[in-house]
Structure 1
């Protein structure tokens, strides 16, 4: 006959406590990992879904957009209609259609003032003070977060998470003072976090540089995207 009190008396409570603590620590670590990487995982999953589905985002008129090449998955799921993107700001904003980036840009942010640039990055993408404005000859330098602790940095904490997906020829649309400037990706590189060369580069034509952390949330390296105005 089952005797509860007898069974309880047989339990080695020290072993039980150690096992419980181990399980709690393991579950806590898993939860923290998923919570920290949630935005990265979410964006990666959405991007994969868009690519499989053939979803197109565009700042152009939808009727002018060439439909993507059909895929077996798109045939099964139904070819989606291109989605019109309304810029967050036409005074100073960025739209990257391929990865669904749509953000205001904060102008003339000093890169040497941590308090100033962290405050700016809570409002959108930052434009480095001392670099040219869109459409001008030279290097227009933009930087933004790719961070894991999004709860500390607001809604723009992961705005540049997917810029590593950009390839040569992809379009980056910049709006400035009501005008539109279409830049096309020319190159992609990873540099040391202490390397300031991308910021100080000079160009004979209007260029755009995007910078973010690589890998996400770790400032040991910088991912650099360069694009030229057409």
Structure 2
């Protein structure tokens, strides 16, 4: 046997051991990273559950919303354009187009389900085209930066980018209504949304939790129906 083969064989064995430890370390690191990622994902889903409850805090009851529109309905001619688009919300500045889901009940379990399908119109909100004064409340999730775009968890993450005068479009029953942003309102948990008392105009309020992906505060964007 050639004695020169022994160092070569030893080097081969050392390399095998080294590669084994390298792959073991990488495998351990991968498992640890996946565990952390899944843990983060689970925690964020729990936050989304609480977001739904926070979103509806401080909103007027259905009994105080509907009569406003009903009492003055048909008193004004609402301007719109015809469209073939389904019921939806569009915000050009955010390159956003999302289904408009009309919640049938304020029950939190139902609101949670509706928020997974698009943005939820709070029960009792005045609907576009009713005429007269009215307020429409639209709820949507916000997610932290980098979170995957799943089930509309992300839909209002960039709501704070809107500025006064920006356009918002509501497509409802084959008609499109145009709104313009009037103000942004930041609210603490449980705080009531200050409602514009101008009795001759229709307003929408886009509401999400703030900062994105958390449930510490709320952000409401107010917009008024325009000609």
TM-score range, shorter chain: 0.5 to 0.7
Give runs of aligned pairs for residues 10-159 of structure 1, distance below 5 A.
23-24=29-30, 27-28=33-34, 88-89=85-86, 92-111=87-106, 113-135=107-129, 136=131, 137-147=133-143, 154=151, 156-159=152-155
Return the structure number with greater relative CO, CA threshold 8 A, min gap 6.
2
Please say which of residues 116-125 and 131-140 is displaced more in the overlay.
131-140
Q: Select the structure of larger CA radius of gyration.
A: 2
Q: What is the alpha-carbon distance in structure 2 between the residues aligned to residue 217 and residue 165 of structure 1?
A: 16
- Contact (CA 8 Å) 2:137, 2:205: kept in 1 or not? yes
TM-score by length of 2: 0.60
Q: Taking structure 1 as the reference length, what is the TM-score of the superposition?
A: 0.60
Unaligned ranges ≥5, structure 1: 37-85
Q: Judging changes above 3 Å, is the alpha-carbon distance between structure 1 residues 28 and 134 closer, same or farther for their aligned structure 2 residues?
A: same
Task: Quote how far apart the aligned CAs of 1:147 are.
Answer: 3.0
After superposition, the Cα gap between the structure-2 partners of 1:150 and 1:110, relative to the gap in structure 1 and judged at 3 Å, is farther
SS in 1 for 2:160: helix
Say whether the 8 Å CA contact 1:88–1:103 is kept in structure 2: no
Distance 1:105 1:224, change over 3 A: same
Identify the residue that residue 173 of structure 1 maps to in structure 2: 169
